[in-house]
Amino acid sequence: MKGYVQVYTGNGKGKTTASLGLAVRAAGAGLNVYIVQFLKKGDYSEIKALSEFENITIEQYGLGKFVKGKPSPDDIEAGKAGYKKLCNILKTNKHDLVIAEEANVAVTYKLFTEDELLYLIDLKPDNVELVITGRGATQKIIEKADLVSEINEIKHYYKQGVTARVGIEK
């Protein structure tokens, strides 16, 4: 099976949800899935659920401290470690679906460069499906991808003071 590059971007809620839904679909079809989460660290509900699948591996390379603002040197180091692991995962060609969650945001905050993310796309074996998520996908990433979905916010209850709820947003 030929693998493509998918990008889920935009300011709306649902990019991670879409990529994790694809991971569950792929796992259900017997495919091997690897997910790297940049920026995240912690006991998110999806970690618990996805750990039930023998053919899904999920690893976090965030420190759980910075979401907006300036990353610390430790944040940058964690992001670079995740990038290196992702390169190795693609080189081994043992996974059918590889998801780089929040990789676009990692580029925005200079955890690694746009050129490095473009290199990941070039590194992808022909049979691997690569999904890149996160708001702020650059024009070059969009051009290089085979499928791009932009999720736009029209209305969000967060603006009315609703915080992230377990099982829905976290």
How confident is the prediction along the chain (170 residues), in pLDDT tens digits per residue? 899 999 999 999 999 999 999 999 999 999 999 999 998 777 778 888 898 999 999 999 988 776 667 888 998 999 999 999 999 999 999 999 999 999 999 999 999 999 999 999 999 999 999 999 999 999 999 999 999 999 998 887 777 787 777 777 67
Domain assignment present for residue 169? The answer is no
Residue 153 belongs to domain with CATH number: 3.40.50.300
Domain assignment present for residue 168? The answer is no
pLDDT of residue 54: 95
Domain assignment present for residue 103? The answer is yes
pLDDT of residue 66: 61
Domain assignment present for residue 43? The answer is yes
Q: Where are the beta strands (DSSP E) in 20-125?
A: 33-38, 56-61, 97-101
Residue pointed to by tokens 């377990």: 166
Domain assignment present for residue 12? The answer is yes
140 vs 38, 39, 82, 144, CA distance in Å?
Answer: 20, 22, 21, 6
Distance in angstroms between the alpha carbons of the first and the last residue of the chain:
33
pLDDT of residue 36: 96
Domain assignment present for residue 166? The answer is no
Domain assignment present for residue 56? The answer is yes
pLDDT of residue 100: 98
CB atoms within 10 A of CB 157: 11
Domain enclosing residue 142, as ranges: 5-160
pLDDT of residue 30: 97
Give the pTM: 0.92
Domain assignment present for residue 165? The answer is no
Q: How many domains does the chain have?
A: 1
